[in-house]
Amino acid sequence: MSAYLTVSLKSWGGGSDSYFEYYLIEYGRLTTLNLSTLWKTAVDSTIHYLIRHSTVGNHTYTSTYDAITGLIHHTSGHLTCFHGGNWILGGKLLNNETIVNYGLALVDGCINTYIGTAIGIGPEGFAYASLDGNFTFFPDPTEDQLAFYEEHGFYIISDCILRPEVLESNFYAWHATSIGKCRAIESFNKHLPTTVAFTGIDNVNDVNSTKIDDMESFWFAEVLKYLYLTFDDPKNISLNALNNVSHIYVFNTEAHPLEAPPAKASYGGSGAKAKSGFKGKSGPTPVPSSFATPSRTKAPVQIG
């Protein structure tokens, strides 16, 4: 089963996340290697085939495509939620505000999984329904899960293990728009401490849930770092060359800041047409655009 899943499932989740996040965009920002065309092709394909909007709340999520069965799995997860910040970063580098706005919408969708739970922290995995169905590959949702979905636009399918991706994408959204929507500090301090550490939790929709006897290293390396930097002066660890900062940084997949060279005038994408061969089934063609002010946010800040 594991080999089948690894080969056939196409998504922005585990097994491919670091390739999209670091190699195709962040590594190109750090070096002379430019793989932005491959990254944009992946984003274009995702907009056409994997983006879904929940039938409740119209939240924007990505799905998973099974290349063997041809079925769409209406699932996503915390690990996948890096994609919003990644699209914001890549969209800014390519001067493509369409991709930036999709990134902001994906951030909103992932933050919704925090807002909707009893403890204010999102689950490891979640599912939803869209106009094309609700197949997930998991057992059919229970009555309680369906009731939860009707209220929140997603339902929970697994626990919480202290992942950073939602806060990571919130950090990029804050740098791009000066708006940070996800402040989970109070929830973390209330529900996750133990006598010697912070820990995962079995049921994010139960304030009395049992806890997981484990604290992941990325709690320190990423979760706490992105939280801190979201509230810190952006001049200290800056993603852009505004405000006369002398050092610009790129974060790798484990949130280690690497000093970047001066940004290029262009990383491609501006003025280019969407690649042929992608015929939209679930969304509009993602054409490049200028830096117009997004209707949903304040004026954008150029990252890079």
Q: Which residues are annotated as a binding site for Ca(2+)?
A: 253
DSSP-derived 3-state class of residue 290: coil
Q: Which of 21, 26, 97, 124 is catalytic?
A: 124
> Distance between CA atoms of 190 and 157, rounded to whole angstroms?
23
Going through 114-251 in order, the beta strands assigned E by DSSP cover: 125-127, 155-156, 248-251
Cβ(239)–Cβ(90) under 8 Å? Answer: no
Cβ(83)–Cβ(38) under 8 Å? Answer: no
Token digits for 276? Answer: 């042929």
Strands 64-66, 248-251: pairing is unpaired
H or E stretch covering 43? helix 36-49
Cβ(105)–Cβ(93) under 8 Å? Answer: no
H or E stretch covering 259? strand 257-260
Any catalytic annotation for residue 124?
Answer: yes
Phi and psi at residue 183, to the nearest 5°: -120, 90
Catalytic residues: 124
